[in-house]
Copies of this chain bind each other. A is one copy, B any other.
Amino acid sequence: MRILIVEDEHRIAHAVKEGLEQETYAVDVCYDGQEGYLAASSEDYDLVILDVMMPRMDGIEVLRKLREEGNHTPVLLLTAKDQSRDIAHGLNSGADDYLAKPFAFEVLLARVRALLRRPHDVLGEVLVAGDLSLDSINHVVKRTDRNILLSGKEYAVLEYLLRNRGKVLSKHNIMAHVWDFDADILPNNVEVFIAYLRAKIDKPFAGPRLIKTIRGFGYKIDA
């Protein structure tokens, strides 16, 4: 899951980036509205966190331009406390949720999770495919009730596959959503992680192989 933060206060931007990366999200940061707008409209993010008060182009403006051009990426607005006018304005312009500053990281994280949860997802917080489950809050992966330890990237790839259960995802698509902007990655790297994942969640178990290869298109996970 790839997230863009647009926030001019470096201290906040960094703290949030670090925290979200801890959670295995791929995070890019822009420090003003102009930059942020360009990044959001040219890359395919799963979520944009957007400050309202910013130099050059304010958050509402960025949001409005994105929505105008048909971009429906979920947007979480960060507003100054008690600026209820901003909030109303923002929600009217197509924001999906908002958060007043200052905020606790835990609260931000909860909102982020809620927004990344797509309607197609099975359970609120636990993604399931067959007898495999991934608890996206506690970062616990199990198959047939046996715990499985995954590294950060392994986890991120698996989560992305599960959030798009049933869909075929190309290597480039996976690269775009699991790695951040300045990662310069070969498609072969995705193959390697798929192999790691298979060694942990498929090979040791009796049931059907969950990660399927669709030659020429990519990979897919389903029950």
Q: Which residues of A does B touch, CB under 8 Å?
A: 72, 84, 87-88, 91-92, 94-97, 106-107, 109-111, 113-114, 117-119, 121-126, 137-139, 151-152, 155, 166-168, 214-217, 220
The distance in angstroms between the C-alpha atoms of A117 and B216, with both chains bound, is 33
* Contact pick for A122, options B91, B111, B137, CB 8 Å: B91
Task: List 10 other contacts, CB 8 Å, given A88-B123, A151-B215.
Answer: A84-B124, A87-B106, A87-B124, A88-B124, A88-B125, A91-B109, A91-B124, A97-B107, A138-B166, A139-B168
The distance in angstroms between the C-alpha atoms of A48 and B168, with both chains bound, is 31
- Asked if residues B152 and A167 are in contact (CB atoms below 8 Å), the reply is no
Q: Which chain B residues lie closer than 8 Å to A125 at the CB level?
A: 84, 88
